[in-house]
Chains A and B, each alone.
Chain A
Amino acid sequence: MYAGIDDFLAGTVPFVKGGLEAGEPVLVVESTSKISMLRAELGRDAELVHFADMAGVGANPARIIPAWRDFVNQHGGGGRRLRGIGEPIWKTRGPFELIECQRHESLLNTAFAGGDPWWLLCPYDTVALDPDVIDEARRSHPYVTDGATFRQSNDYRGLDASGAPFDVPLPEPSSIAQELAFQNGDLVALRGLVYRRASAAGLDASKSADLVLAVNEIATNSLQHGGGKGTLRVWEDMSALTCEVRDSGQFNSPLVDRERPAAGAAGPRGLWLANQLCDLVQIRTFATGTAVRLHMWLKPAAHEHNHNSDTIDSITLA
């Protein structure tokens, strides 16, 4: 937890330096402005640190875990610990993105339990973020720090709950939704509907094709694993075009949409693909079935990380 830039640097710079001194590979995924500040503080040591722009890696938060995993696979091994800094939640994240970021934070525990030793620091801006967000951070992280000292979080929900099926309800569509029930033989019509809606919403040819493919794959999953039929709903509002596929299947692989498919023919790929092609994917499993929502933003500027907000909002004048 940090309040202000000085606090942020006080919590992160020693962490990075400690890693470098111990010969541990370090990856920092942050906003470009924070990366610049860290580089300035680290001086020549910055050359030994791996940096990545969070707005690029984690625009869709489901892409963050695969990025960490790639780093661990590339630089880990031999029992050597790795260190990372990842700040996925910033003030201008929309409400759907925020809830999925929080789900991501929880899944970090599941994703790296029992693997290579890995020390991951997740900065939270206590000045800029809502108290609810800070509370949730305490529930999703086993340890919290306010600077130099670490202590266990009494509110941590634990490893089992972290990886449990996600059943936080999805809000009803924000506008009138077009609905299409589908079963075997209906995929051509389903794709046609998504394509027409994507074009009407102003998505370019490439994004439209991406959305059509993603929805097709999720619907195919419904046909093959979700009871042989499903329901598609499509709606558009000011910020996004959303396609939702519901079926009666149960989904219980919390990380499958975040695992890079192995080369070769077999294995699930649809949800992974959806995460690479869509701006946000929300997966929920309830007692009655599964719902997958695919979002394509219509006004990308509204969701970009405002790089200037770091310097303006999070500096506190002592």
Chain B
Amino acid sequence: MGVSFRVDVSVQDMAGQFPSAKSAGAEVYTDKQLLVLRSRDPVGIKFAGEIDASNSHAVSTSIAAAITPEADLHVDVTALIFCDISGIRAFVATAEALPEGRRMLLHGMPPQLETVIRVVGWNELPTLVVCECGSD
């Protein structure tokens, strides 16, 4: 299930784009440019919108709610249309702080994000895995 955004979309409340999710109580965080939802299959977290220095603090706290020691953490970024270095740093820090042996699996990674991770030198971390498997 894919969601497409135009880059210049402006919405007062990102959650308005996902009415069913909102009503199901899956909303973890929302601001003017970002929506974070719990996902069910696989269990994890989905990000939609844009992450930058104004809201990258929300990445760690949003993900924290979904961490369980029994399973790897699935993070869907298919609908993350922009993520800056502070956002990637937050994903990296969260991955590094996972319980022993647990990994963060990123689904739907845009090629741009992969480039940035490689250029900045974070592609060698064992706890952060870019997953080639299909999401949903």
Query: Contact residues of A with B, CB < 8 Å?
Result: 184-185, 187-188, 191-192, 195-196, 206, 209-210, 212-213, 216-217, 220, 223-224, 260-263, 265, 269-270, 272-273, 276-277
What's the dominant secondary structure at chain A's contact region? helix
30 contacts between A and B (CB under 8 A): A185-B54, A187-B52, A187-B54, A191-B7, A191-B50, A191-B52, A192-B7, A192-B8, A196-B8, A206-B111, A213-B82, A213-B84, A213-B116, A216-B52, A216-B84, A220-B53, A220-B84, A223-B53, A224-B53, A260-B121, A261-B120, A263-B124, A263-B125, A265-B96, A269-B120, A272-B120, A273-B116, A273-B120, A276-B119, A277-B119
Q: A196-B8, A213-B84 are in contact. List 11 more A-B contacts (CB 8 A).
A: A188-B10, A188-B52, A213-B116, A220-B86, A261-B120, A261-B121, A263-B122, A265-B89, A265-B92, A273-B116, A273-B119
* B85: min CB distance to chain A, Å: 5
Interface mask (B29-55 → A, CB under 8 Å = 1, otherwise 0): 000110000000000000000101110
* A189: min CB distance to chain B, Å: 8
CA distance A206 to B115 in the complex (A): 10
Q: Is B17 positioned at the interface, with any CB of A under 8 Å from its CB? A: no
Beyond A188-B50, A206-B112, A265-B93, is A217–B85 a contact (Cβ under 8 Å)? Answer: yes
Measured between beta carbons, the chain A residues less than 8 angstroms from B124 are 263
CA distance A260 to B98 in the complex (A): 27
Contact, CB under 8 Å: A195 / B7: yes
* A262: min CB distance to chain B, Å: 8
CA distance A208 to B111 in the complex (A): 13
Measured between beta carbons, the chain A residues less than 8 angstroms from B54 are 184-185, 187
Measured between beta carbons, the chain B residues less than 8 angstroms from A216 are 52, 82, 84
Contact, CB under 8 Å: B122 / A273: no
Measured between beta carbons, the chain A residues less than 8 angstroms from B8 are 192, 195-196
CA distance A272 to B122 in the complex (A): 14
User: What total of A-B pairs shows CB separation below 8 Å?
Assistant: 64
CA distance A263 to B84 in the complex (A): 17
Measured between beta carbons, the chain B residues less than 8 angstroms from A260 are 121
CA distance A195 to B112 in the complex (A): 14
Measured between beta carbons, the chain B residues less than 8 angstroms from A213 are 82, 84, 112, 116
Q: Which parts of B48-83 form the interface with A (CB within 8 Å)?
A: 50, 52-54, 82
CA distance A156 to B91 in the complex (A): 47
Measured between beta carbons, the chain A residues less than 8 angstroms from B85 are 217, 220, 269-270, 273
CA distance A263 to B53 in the complex (A): 20
CA distance A77 to B52 in the complex (A): 40
Measured between beta carbons, the chain A residues less than 8 angstroms from B92 are 265
Measured between beta carbons, the chain B residues less than 8 angstroms from A210 are 112, 115
Contact, CB under 8 Å: A217 / B119: no
* B87: min CB distance to chain A, Å: 10
Contact of B53 among A187, A206, A261 (CB under 8 A): A187
